[in-house]
Chain A
Amino acid sequence: MKSLSFSMRDLICGLLFIAVGLFFAIQAYGLELGTAFRMGPGYFPLVLAGILVLLGIIVIIQGTQLEHEPMGPIAWRGLLFILPAPIFFGLTVRGLGFVPSLFLTGLLAAFASTRMRPGTALLLVGGLTLFSVIVFSYALGLPFRRFGPWLGL
């Protein structure tokens, strides 16, 4: 595989650096730049953004010279269940309250694994919720509402 082709990984990485760099550069350009003596809010970010774009270009160039290795599998199932879990917790912790919200969050996350069986998940997450309520809510006294207004309690 030693040919002068682009490494997919490095190409994406370089383009990402360039894109983020350009984003910050454009944003910084809209701010007051000032001079080296009295730098405005845009000066330092603009310099950094420029460096990032440059690094992105170097990454892409370097990527053409190296042997490539495959990207490996992507944890689609993990992404699908893990990432929404904290978001779900955020959406429901006030409305449903700490206990039901945490239970459902844990359950959602549990199904990211192909090995998890529904019965095990319920048991595990139940124990986890109980533990968290005792430790975080009662022992440490974090100011969570245990059951929220959506439940009509």
Chain B
Amino acid sequence: MDLLSNLALGFATAASPWNLLFCLTGVLLGTLIGVLPGIGATATIAMLLPITFQLEPVSSLIMLAGIYYGAQYGGSTTAILINMPGESSSAVTAIDGYQMARRGRAGAALAIAAIGSFFAGTVSTVLVAVFAPPLTAIALQFGSAEYFSLMIVGLVSSIALAHGSVVKALGMVVLGLLLGLVGTDIYTGTPRFNLGILELSDGLNFVALAVGVFGIAEILRNLENEHERDVMIKKVTNLWPTREDWKQMTAPILRGTAIGSALGILPGGGAILASFASYTVEKRISNSPGEFGKGAIAGVAGPESANNAGAQTSFIPMLTLGIPANPVMALMIGAMIIQGIVPGPNVATEQPALFWGIIASMWIGNLMLILLNLPLIGLWVKLLTIPYYMLFPAIIAFCSIGVYSVNSNVFDLYAVAFFGLMGYGLAKLRCEPAPLLLGFVLGPLLEEHLRRAMIMSRGDPTTFLTRPISLILLLLAVGVLVVVLLPSIRKKRDEVFVED
């Protein structure tokens, strides 16, 4: 009955008029940026992070979470209508969704995506509620060795998800870790790597890094070759799926939800991996695999359910362990720290209203999305016709305002320009920014736990292998790394990523 009373507390918190308003703002904003290409959830949340200073902790986290899963919805809308995934997690949806749209079934594809996402969102909200407390209990047993190994799993998984060269992704993680160490050593207070710049003694600004690498660099990439976006969309009609559609979508939605929920929990996993995995599974077990790529309903229903489920359950490691599963979760942790909340197993017991409020708001947010977005599709389509050159000056302006308002520190703005240039350069070299950001966030934590674990074991590095949980986690990390490096799977992985 604990679960019910906890959920009741959560819904009471999330359903207060003020929080409902922020939830609505979040999902609308999320859908908007999901629909608009050239700006993702990471950059938006980074921009808005400073503004959440002014809000209550619960309200701000509810809004930021809304942006995150709202963006998934918006991303699939554009993936289906114009074959342009607004978010990387909807890349798979574009394959069959767009084909359905070309056959005049855009309405059904959108409805299937929305229904699948809503179902997955409902199930995974319950899963988060059920699994968060026992995981929190386990997390309380974690020592430094376990934390260290868990972070290694997260970092390795982020490599698995990166496009292209594994070595480069690994390099990005290491570079991120190193950048995260800039500032002052926490144990001895020794300044390090700050080049004698006073502003760097507290370390590099996380928001400036995220905005630069994700926001500014993305704009530069879009400006490389400006071409007219041809948006030719017929009027979307016949939203409601036929009885045949229902029959075809039920099983993929169930499977997608299961796959997504499981993969989302893995640190470093989440929505992108989940949607790719679901698509592969559906294609493998289908009676008519030839249909895939030509508008298979399962190819929309499965991945869409999976990415939404994965997006929700990726909150589990964040809420219970304080370990981010992806850059967006890293930003949420940043938001909690700004509010003076230390993310980790204690959040659930010390701030139950916050913890359960966020969980309940996810379900409410999903309900809002399905109620609002299907009728609003016309509006989102209109937005797609705004040319890019009208959008990016606003993005630059909001980035500048957002970063400046974190500490009212002018130096952070110079850092944005620097990281923008760096991010663009790295993109040109085919290096992914996501592992870099994750490394940056985990760098200081990783070092802290490594040093503490080594002190506790009196300098014996086998401590990571003799403690069972730590050993299991490290084996998991090695497993992921081996899988990624195996030639046959590597080829498959390249194929999968080629599709987006």
Contacts and interface: CB of A to CB of B under 8 A. Distances in A.
A48 interface: yes
A14 to B, nearest CB: 9
Interface residues of B, number: 66
A42 B192 contact: yes
B281 interface: no
A4 interface: no
A65 to B, nearest CB: 12
Interface string A45-64: 10011011001101100100
B221 A75 contact: yes
B489 to A, nearest CB: 18
A55 B174 contact: yes
Interface string B365-403: 000000000000000000000011110111011111101
B499 interface: no
B454 A78 contact: no
What class of interface size applies to chain A in its complex with B?
Answer: 35 or more
A96 interface: no
Contacts of B51: 136, 140, 142
Contact of B414 (A43, A90, A128): A90
A87 interface: yes
Contacts of B500: none
Contacts of B401: 102, 132, 136, 142
Nearest to A24: B178
Nearest to A117: B389
A115 B413 CA distance: 27
B178 A75 contact: no
Contacts of B177: 48
Contacts of A72: 224, 428
Helix, strand, loop or mixed for chain B's interface?
helix
A89 B404 contact: yes
A79 B417 contact: no
Interface in A130-152: 132, 136, 140-144
B337 interface: no
A124 B450 contact: no
A36 to B, nearest CB: 5
A78 B178 contact: no
A102 B430 CA distance: 33
B414 A75 contact: no
Contact of B223 (A31, A75, A128): A75
A86 interface: yes
Nearest to A107: B393
Given A13-B431, A36-B459, A55-B170, A48 B403 contact: no
A27 B412 CA distance: 23
Nearest to A128: B394
Given A27-B193, A49-B178, A128 B393 contact: yes
Given A42-B192, A45-B193, A78 B223 contact: yes
Interface string A77-115: 111001111110111011000000010011101101111
Contact of A13 (B190, B390, B430, B459): B430
A83 B167 CA distance: 29
A36 B410 contact: no
Contacts of B216: 82-83, 86
B482 interface: no
B175 A59 contact: no
A116 interface: yes
B455 A37 contact: yes
B399 A51 contact: no
Contact of A45 (B170, B178, B412, B455): B178
Contacts of A41: 185, 187-188, 190, 192
A71 interface: yes
B113 to A, nearest CB: 31
B4 interface: no
B98 interface: no
Interface in B209-244: 216, 219-221, 223-226
A110 B396 CA distance: 9
B458 interface: yes
Interface of A: 9-10, 12-13, 16-17, 20, 24, 27-28, 31-32, 35-45, 48-49, 51-52, 55-56, 58-59, 62, 71-75, 77-79, 82-87, 89-91, 93-94, 102, 105-107, 109-110, 112-116, 120-121, 124-125, 128-129, 132, 136, 140-144
Interface of B: 51, 54, 165, 167-168, 170-171, 174-175, 177-178, 181, 185, 187-188, 190, 192-193, 216, 219-221, 223-226, 387-390, 392-394, 396-401, 403-405, 408, 410-414, 416-417, 420-421, 424, 428-431, 446-447, 450-451, 454-455, 458-459, 461
The 6 lowest CB-CB distance pairs between A and B, nearest first, are A37-B459, A90-B413, A41-B185, A78-B223, A113-B389, A109-B396
Given A38-B459, A58-B167, 11 more contacts: A9-B430, A41-B187, A45-B178, A45-B181, A48-B174, A51-B174, A55-B174, A86-B416, A109-B397, A112-B219, A142-B54
